[in-house]
Structure 1
Amino acid sequence: MNPSKNDALVTLRAPDGAQATVSLHGGQLLSWIPAGGEEQLYASPLSVPAAGSALRGGVPVIFPQFALQGPYPRHGIARTRTWSLVQREQGVQGDALAVLRLEDDADTLRLWPHAFALELTVRIAGSRLEMELAVENRGEARFSFQAALHSYWRVQDLGRVQIEGLQDRRYCESDTGLEGVQHSHRLELLPGKAIDRIVYGPASTLRLVELGEATTRRLLIESEGFDDVVVWNPGADHGLPDLPAADWQHFVCVEAAQIEHPPVLEPGDEWVARQALTAR
């Protein structure tokens, strides 16, 4: 990913060496390197910030609509707009954090006719990343919404990846509408095959496991307030113009999401959900 010089980036560094980079374009976490570790997020080198377009990679914020499940722009309006940095702290409690905010304006009201505010908090320390998404109804009428943290996790070889913790949960394949239940403890991804699966029902802990020849990488994913999980990879025949042809092999999206049961906010109310990642 090649942000322009004019594109605002927020860099965080904790006292122990953990690092993160957040773009104000989309309010999007682009990079997370745990202390003493390696990059955990994938960002496409072909994706360039531009007004009205989304960045491919990192952790886009999906709001107020998931995919095309409604009349509004795909994945909503938050990931294509400029957010504001309202707080940044480094080293106060041995960590580093940033708080970004997005509020409605004339342009958003034309697309989605509700007054709202989003706040995204990113906190890093050691081998841990914490993200919190808050949604506030600033208007005079209730509204409902969907939301997700569309996380692109970097892997060396998708064929060696397993996702643990989804067993006994219902799912729907978004591309075909096929429904089923995940019976196995491990979801193994098929090399070259696209997957676009919404898994319903809360699971507080997942594990992304990549089996290496010498070592096994594990990413612990814990969530609170998000009821659903999305697993996505476009496969070998993706044809996406902002993704190198072979890079489908080097990431998988495991997204904390709220899709099946959209929250309903009365005027003045707030909804908050969180995810925490631990690299092992």
Structure 2
Amino acid sequence: MPMNLVHDVDGLHRIILTEPTGSSAEVLLYGGQVVSWKNERREELLFMSSKANWKPPRAIRGGIPICFPQFGNLGSLEQHGFARNRMWSLDSDPSPLPPANNQSSVDLILKSTEEDLKIWPRCFELRLRVTLSAGRLTLIPRVRNTDNKAFSFMFTLCNYFSVSDISEVRVEGLETLDYFDNLNNRQRFTEQADAITFDGEFERVYLSTPTKIAIIDHEKKRTFELWKDGMPDAVVWNPWDKKAKALQDLGDEDYQSMLCVDSAVIETPIILKPFEEWKGRQEISTVSSSYCSGQLDPRKVLYGFH
């Protein structure tokens, strides 16, 4: 299916993906960032800040930004690394991935530049395939070491989900897991709750997470199913009211309608030898749900595959 490359008013190149049931996705060459995913009823599934800054070199708050080669301030680079602040290109040679001829898909690539090498002296190629299908959005990131020495990196797909009311949302699939609490000096704890619910600022990195996590939105009667491979950690974040007011690119009330649940490699960075490649995969799908608290079969969340 054809993709549509358009120039928007901000001068950013935007790729629009569509598929027969009527759903759509929009991807920017700036940051390789998915900034919209709408279902067949044209409902926006991803959150975008009401105060998002769309002018480079600032990061865009919302959608699915990419953190590479660093997460947060866990290193010497700028917050979350530089991939989300760079201009990517269309990738004309996405092999060895199979052709995406019959799907609505785009392949992007980011290569190290002279400027990047000054702050992170490692040669790399970062590729991303974004594929839209009925009820599902798939992202396949790949990192290739094109240097003559090994290097390590962190990687995160920051998924900003649009929710009706953060107080009515629960996350299942992370029960009993260890996590780093970023609001408590990154101390390590074990999750005690049956499911994660929200009544204040929340920022945790869950470790050795299952392949499948469910984000249940009671008010919208909708569940996001996040399936991931090659990214063992999961970041769960909501800034709540005080932090939202402190963030210049987030509206004061925006925290009420967003939740970040990220696919991540943080605790144990990936190490690549020369010419080795790492590949991850993330699929997000939505299912209509009338799940009440605790009615989602945890075995399906933890071990179920589609």
For normalisation by structure 2, the TM-score amounts to 0.85
Structure 1 contact 166–206 (Cα < 8 Å) conserved: yes
Structure 1 contact 47–55 (Cα < 8 Å) conserved: yes
Q: Give the Å deviation of 1:92.
A: 4.1
Structure 2 contact 50–254 (Cα < 8 Å) conserved: no
The 5 Å alignment of 1:81-100 reads 81-86=86-91, 92-93=101-102, 95-100=103-108
1:69 paired with 2:74, answer yes
1:274 paired residue number = 281
Q: Give the Å deviation of 1:233.
A: 1.0
2:247 paired residue number = 240
Q: Runs of at least 4 residues of structure 1 off by over 2 A?
A: 34-37, 48-52
Q: Give the Å deviation of 1:105.
A: 0.5
Bigger shift: residues 172-181 or 69-78: 172-181
Structure 2 contact 123–145 (Cα < 8 Å) conserved: yes
**Partner of residue 204 from structure 2, selected from 197, 210, 235:** 197
The 5 Å alignment of 1:257-272 reads 257-272=264-279
Q: Which amino acid aligns with 1:144?
A: S
Q: 1:205 to 1:37 in 2, by over 3 A?
A: farther
Distance of 2:129 and 2:198 partners within structure 1: 31
Structure 1 contact 165–185 (Cα < 8 Å) conserved: no
Q: Give the Å deviation of 1:123.
A: 0.5
The 5 Å alignment of 1:1-280 reads 4-36=9-41, 38-86=43-91, 92-93=101-102, 95-176=103-184, 177-190=186-199, 193-212=200-219, 216-238=221-243, 239-280=246-287
Deviation sequence 1:6-49 (CA, Å, 0-9, x none):
11111111122120000111110001112335211011132122
Deviation sequence 1:199-233 (CA, Å, 0-9, x none):
00031111000111xx5210111111111000011
Structure 1 contact 61–148 (Cα < 8 Å) conserved: yes
Deviation sequence 1:50-75 (CA, Å, 0-9, x none):
33211000000000011001111110
Bigger shift: residues 9-18 or 59-68: 9-18
Q: Give the Å deviation of 1:276.
A: 0.5
For normalisation by structure 1, the TM-score amounts to 0.93
Distance of 1:148 and 1:72 partners within structure 2: 15
Distance of 1:202 and 1:209 partners within structure 2: 17
Bigger shift: residues 3-12 or 96-105: 3-12
Q: Which amino acid aligns with 2:49?
A: S
Kindly, what percent of the aligned residue pairs are identical? Answer: 31
Q: Which amino acid aligns with 2:36?
A: S
SS at match of 2:73: coil
Structure 1 gaps of 5+ residues are none
Structure 1 contact 4–49 (Cα < 8 Å) conserved: no
Aligned residues: 272
Q: Which amino acid aligns with 1:113?
A: P
Q: Give the Å deviation of 1:235.
A: 1.0
Structure 2 gaps of 5+ residues are 1-7, 95-99, 288-306
